[in-house]
Amino acid sequence: MTNLSDLFPAGAGKQVSFVADGSISAAGKPVILTAAGKVTPVGMGPGSDVGTPVVFRPSRVDDVSSTFDSNSNKVVFAYNDPTLSFNGYAVVGTVSGTAISFGTPVAFETGGTASHVACTFDSNENKVVIAYRDNSNSHYGTAIVGTVSGTAISYGTAVVFDSTGYSSFPACTFDSDSNKVVIVYQDYLGATPNYQGHAVVGTVSGTSISFGTAVIFNAGSASEAFGATFDSDSNKVVIAYSDNSNSHYGTGIVGTVSGTSISFGSEAVFESSSSAEITATFDSNSNKVVISYSDTGSSQHGTAVVGTVSGTSISFGTPVVFEAADTNTPSATFDSGSNVVVIAYEDVGNSEYGTVIQGTVSGTSISFGSAAVFESAVVSYTSATFDSNSNKVAIGYQDEGNSDYGTGVVYSTTATNLTAANFIGISDAAILDTASGNVTIKGGIAATGLTSLTSGSDYYAQGDGTISTVTTSPAVKIGKAMSATSINLEYQS
């Protein structure tokens, strides 16, 4: 590729007139050179960008679950640690751009095995709620409240929500209309096992949580695959699961919370074949529920379907394949910044790599873009959550390619058009789309539209079109400040 500095050697004119491809809003904006020889402003647009994976626990982790604390603007990953007696832990993550950093993991269960971990955020009390099966206490369904402070998390006292037998495979969601947490789980009833699907309503107060009476939503046999989400348009909870008593068909049901109880409408099938590893999210732009799953009746292809809630019922569009290969542990979240659904999963058809894809809902259907690899190794226990502060998706997972370490990565549903090769200079004025205007190119001194610079400091064009001293990729160095209002646009090799 030709280096742009070769196009404008030293001694050439430093202000060059270009035609704008897209409006440039003001002087002092970094611009790039397009393939057509025009200039366009640096910025973010449709696409995808994956950050660098970061280890949050340098040992094996299982049952990773994620949520976003919108009070502290932090991501929380909960999990169990097989190297420490399978005790339950959570860790706080801070997203900055496409990077993530972590505090020290803190145990929420140290008495014995905490398995089948799930978590959600209560935005009324500003608390994280973690549900799990406490194997050291007769396998009872248990929950605990976590408080995030800085990069740490502390806990209240664990509370049992089901003491009738094995409480397995919980999923959690927060009902922001009733300000209640809803925990969905499979209840193995000991002497008369039937694996019924149960749901229970939890009320958080301070660092404590109390529960109403569990309600059965599937009296036959709901399998170990539950998705739960809250539809804020209809103010209903939607649960998705594999109905073992009906040929393992993918099934959904609508729940209405009232006080400390929940009632349900009728079950509705969304996939008339065996379905597994089900997850659900709510698209607040289209006001639709999106369910993703592994279609075991069709070679375990990764599949998604759009659901519409009406009253206490839900109806579904036609399922759409997003990965035409064996797909494991899909996890869906909604990116409200870009209005797309993001699904992270293990792509068995591509060496079991960690993979992510974004889908756009239209009516009762969903369409998908191209998938991107977030981890070029085998992954398990993927869990995705949307950080509405940074407008990024954080993905937690077990990295089998790195000793099963607990790992997190940031995914952006937009991408910058900036590269080191295409940066050309700084605009001298606002330029309307298709109009001509001057740009100070490399080798010149930009002295229009710039303010508050620190003389002698190096400055970089950022992926979003701003200029600062931040060097984190995809930032591109543009030069050194000569004064508070000027930069020497240096040639870069």
Range 330-338 average pLDDT: 97
Q: What's the CA angle centered on 150, arms 336 and 48, to 5 degrees?
A: 30
Q: Is residue 30 a contact partner of residue 18, using CB atoms and an 8 Å limit? A: no
Q: What are phi and psi of 264, to 5 degrees?
A: -130, 150
Tell me the residue ranges of DSSP E strands in 244-388: 249-258, 261-264, 268-283, 288-295, 301-310, 313-316, 320-335, 340-347, 353-362, 365-368, 372-387
Residue (of 180, 167, 157) closest to 132 by Cα position: 167
Domain 4-43+418-489, second-level architecture: Beta Barrel (2.40)
pTM of the model: 0.88
Among positive and negative, which fits the CA dihedral 258, 263, 264, 265?
negative
Tell me the residue ranges of DSSP E strands in 338-483: 340-347, 353-362, 365-368, 372-387, 392-399, 405-416, 423-427, 436-441, 445-446, 458-461, 467-468, 476-483
Which helix H or strand E contains 118, and what residues bound it?
strand 114-122
Query: Tokens 């409200």 appear where?
Result: 336
Q: How far apart are CA 422 and CA 399, in angstroms?
A: 35
Burial track 433-462 (b if 16+ CB lie within 10 A, e otherwise): eeeebbbbbbbbebbbbbeebeeeeebbbb
Q: What's the CA angle centered on 46, arms 44 and 50, to 5 degrees?
A: 75
| Tens-place pLDDT, residues 132-158 | 999 889 889 999 999 999 999 999 999
What pLDDT shows up at residue 189?
72
CATH code for the domain defined by 48-416: 2.120.10.10
Q: CA-based Rg of the chain, rounded to a whole angstrom?
A: 25
Worst-scoring range by mean pLDDT, 4-8, 242-246, 247-251, 312-316? 4-8
Range 76-88 average pLDDT: 94
| Tens-place pLDDT, residues 401-437 | 999 999 999 999 999 999 999 999 999 999 999 999 9
With pLDDT > 70 as the criterion, what percentage of the chain qualifies? 96
Two tokens, residue 307:
């659901």
Domain range summary for the chain, segments of one domain joined by +? 4-43+418-489, 48-416
Instruction: Check residue 235 and report its DSSP letter.
Output: T
With pLDDT > 90 as the criterion, what percentage of the chain qualifies? 85
| Tens-place pLDDT, residues 173-215 | 999 999 999 999 998 875 555 789 999 999 999 999 999 999 9
Instruction: Check residue 83 and report its DSSP letter.
Output: G
| Tens-place pLDDT, residues 233-286 | 999 999 999 999 899 999 999 999 999 999 999 999 999 999 999 999 999 999
Q: Is residue 91 a contact partner of residue 383, using CB atoms and an 8 Å limit? A: no
Q: How far apart are CA 309 and CA 234, in angstroms?
A: 7
Range 447-474 average pLDDT: 94
